[in-house]
């Protein structure tokens, strides 16, 4: 157990001066301190050091106020009818669609914006409707979220081949040679989909966005999962050009939860075949004329049932909020804080010279986002219990996250868990049903620790936040397990 850690504010002022000398660009982002005080005051009132932005972004209180004011001023009914209440909702829904297009530079003649419940909902729309057939392929990087991994079940059902491109253990980046050779395999004429995250939600690795154009030139459709990337990086879809981009709005600006988007190239969208129809998606259907139905063209044909028409105006408000701050400013803020955090953490050593921090993923600042996945090691090089660390952090008011973050590929490579190790968990005779049971089996049989602590930064992260985490980490120095 770590020693209690004292008042970190003692050294913070000097540390911040040193930080500003090392990373002067942070000084350009002081408007975010004012914003935090004015609009996110609850963080400091509650003494919360929030380091789980990749889990969920935080909203500014003004966003919620503006949304509630709007709901209080207008009578809003179910859209797509001709009453004033209905028309008012339709207008706000279309305003949100236009705001999404503007924010991500997804011109209307090229891209359709489809509202979903979250990133997962957007991915499922693609998976269930993509024309996976024998001779087709689903190629994906190891470091995808499970909601992208899950599309392989649709691919297999359709008869398409599924292939993963691994990440390297040293830095959890993709083996580009392997990727190039997988992309270059000649196609059979059947459709082929390549999926990767713009940023790994485990390691923070940012893959080259140029892969989109390269893969498309070789005849692939490309699904770019932007859920972890979009909150702190400018994303220009016209420039990058993916066939499908997916994201959740709560990760960008905290509120509302329950709304995401599939932003899809119109020409690629046209080849998706929805497996069903439903209210909202169907222009007309018949009970008597057997099998008769016509899907609504465009986005509506993919929006099942009634969309969240009261929540969608909050998406417009959230995007305006980010526009008023500036994505480049947010990016500068989190990049400088990440750089400092990396430098500080890797410099920590026990009295015997052994490193305290084992980082999974790149330790440099190139092509990486504001996510750090790590273990803390004792002087003998064994990891401290990850769940205990999360609890201790929580008691110190620091919100982090543990587990594999629904990213089993990065987790398996980071912790050197082999196919054979994992197969132990899938043996019927073991009857495992939970991740924790699976982790215990791996740990007991192999001695490997398949659990990780993740810290992630966002919109109103501050130097005090990262300094507090480093101070917390230092409390483990020379600590017995």
Ligand X SMILES: Cc1ncc(COP(=O)(O)O)c(C=O)c1O
406 is catalytic: yes
Residue from 46, 48, 358, 406 carrying the catalytic annotation:
406
Instruction: In angstroms, give the least distance from the CB of 140 to ligand X.
Output: 12
Measured between alpha carbons, how far is 44 from 461 in angstroms, rounded to an integer?
Answer: 11
Total residues contacting ligand X by CB under 6 A comes to: 13
Give the whole-angstrom CA distance, residue 254 versus residue 61.
Answer: 10
Q: How far is the CB of 52 from ligand X (least distance, A)?
A: 10
Beta bridge partners of 141: 165
The smaller minimum CB distance to ligand X, of residues 147 and 473, is found at 147
| Residue with Cβ nearer ligand X (248 or 471) | 248
Q: Of 107-126, which residues contact ligand X (CB under 6 A)?
A: 118-120
- Residue 140: strand pairing partners: 164, 195
- Alpha carbon distance 293, 289 (integer Å): 9
| Residue from 141, 206, 233, 248 binding ligand X (CB under 6 A) | 248
Nearer to ligand X, 63 or 201 (CB): 201
CA distance 448 to 413: 12
Neighbours of 95 (CB within 10 A): 14
- Least distance from ligand X to the Cβ atom of residue 101, Å: 21
CB of 199 to ligand X, least distance (A): 7
Q: Using CB under 6 A, which of 137, 145, 207, 401 touches ligand X?
A: 145
Where does 184-331 show beta strands of DSSP type E?
192-197, 221-225, 244-248, 260-265, 282-285, 293-295
Interface with ligand X in residues 260-299 (CB under 6 A): 260
Pick 456 or 473: Cβ nearer ligand X:
456
Residue among 141, 201, 336, 439 that touches ligand X (CB under 6 A): 201
Closest CA to 122 of 110, 131, 114, 130: 114
User: Contact 23/340 with Cβ under 8 angstroms?
Assistant: yes
Helix, strand, coil shares, percent, the chain, to 5: 45, 15, 40
CA distance 97 to 114: 8
Torsion angles phi and psi, residue 380, rounded to 5: -90, 5
Among 197, 362, 379, 411, binds ligand X (CB under 6 A): 197
What is the nearest approach in angstroms of ligand X to the Cβ of residue 237? 17
Residues of this chain, 205-244, that bind ligand X according to CB under 6 A: 225, 227-228
Pick between residue 249 and residue 340 the one whose CB is nearest to ligand X. Answer: 249
Phi-psi region of 280 (alpha: psi -120 to 50; beta: other; left: phi over 0): left
Which one, 63 or 119, has the nearer CB to ligand X?
A: 119
| Residue 158: φ, ψ to 5° | -80, -10
Q: Based on the shown chain and the rule CB under 6 A, indicate whether residue 471 belongs to the binding site for ligand X.
A: no
The least CB distance from residue 247 to ligand X, in Å, is 8
Q: Name the residues that contact ligand X, by CB under 6 A.
A: 54, 118-120, 145, 147, 197, 201, 225, 227-228, 248, 260
Active site residues: 406
């Amino acid at each position: 157990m770590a020693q209690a850690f004292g008042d970190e504010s003692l050294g913070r002022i000097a540390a911040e001066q040193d930080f500003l000398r090392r990373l002067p660009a942070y000084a350009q982002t002081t408007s975010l301190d004012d914003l935090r005080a004015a609009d996110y005051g609850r963080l400091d009132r509650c003494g919360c050091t929030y380091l789980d932005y990749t889990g969920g972004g935080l909203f500014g209180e003004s966003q919620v106020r503006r949304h509630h004011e709007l709901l209080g001023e207008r009578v809003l009914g179910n859209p797509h009818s001709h009453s004033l209440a209905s028309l008012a909702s339709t207008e706000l829904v279309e305003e949100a669609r236009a705001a999404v297009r503007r924010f991500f530079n997804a011109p209307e003649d090229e891209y359709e914006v489809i509202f979903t419940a979250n990133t997962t909902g957007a991915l499922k729309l693609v998976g269930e409707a993509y024309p996976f057939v024998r001779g087709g392929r689903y190629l994906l990087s190891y470091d995808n979220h499970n909601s992208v991994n899950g599309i392989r079940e649709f691919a297999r059902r359709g008869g398409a081949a599924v292939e993963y491109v691994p990440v390297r253990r040293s830095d959890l980046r993709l083996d580009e040679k392997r990727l190039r050779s997988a992309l270059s395999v000649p196609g059979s004429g059947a459709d082929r989909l390549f999926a990767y995250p713009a940023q790994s939600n485990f390691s923070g690795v940012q893959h080259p966005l140029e892969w989109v154009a390269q893969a498309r030139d070789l005849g692939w459709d490309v699904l770019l999962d932007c859920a972890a990337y979009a909150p702190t990086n400018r994303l220009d879809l016209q420039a990058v050009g993916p066939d499908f981009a997916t994201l959740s709005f709560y990760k960008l600006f905290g509120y509302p939860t329950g709304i995401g988007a599939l932003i899809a190239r119109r020409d690629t969208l046209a080849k998706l075949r929805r497996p069903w129809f439903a209210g909202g998606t169907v222009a007309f259907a018949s009970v008597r004329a057997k099998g008769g139905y016509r899907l609504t063209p465009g986005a509506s044909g993919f929006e099942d049932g009634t969309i969240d028409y009261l929540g969608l105006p909050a998406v417009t408000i959230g995007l305006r909020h980010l526009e008023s701050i500036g994505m480049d400013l947010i990016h500068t803020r989190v990049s400088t804080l990440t750089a400092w955090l990396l430098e500080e953490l890797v410099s920590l050593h026990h009295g015997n010279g052994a490193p305290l921090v084992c980082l999974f993923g790149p330790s440099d600042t190139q092509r990486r986002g504001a996510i750090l996945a790590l273990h803390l090691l004792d002087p003998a090089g064994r990891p401290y219990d990850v769940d205990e660390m999360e609890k201790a952090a929580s008691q110190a008011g620091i919100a982090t996250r543990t587990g594999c973050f629904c990213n089993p590929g990065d987790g398996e490579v980071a912790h050197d868990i082999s196919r054979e190790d994992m197969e132990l968990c899938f043996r019927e005779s073991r009857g495992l049903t939970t991740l924790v049971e699976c982790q215990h089996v791996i740990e007991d049989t192999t001695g490997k620790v398949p659990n990780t602590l993740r810290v992630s930064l966002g919109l109103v992260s501050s130097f005090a936040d990262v300094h507090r985490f480093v101070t917390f980490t230092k409390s483990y120095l020379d600590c017995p397990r």
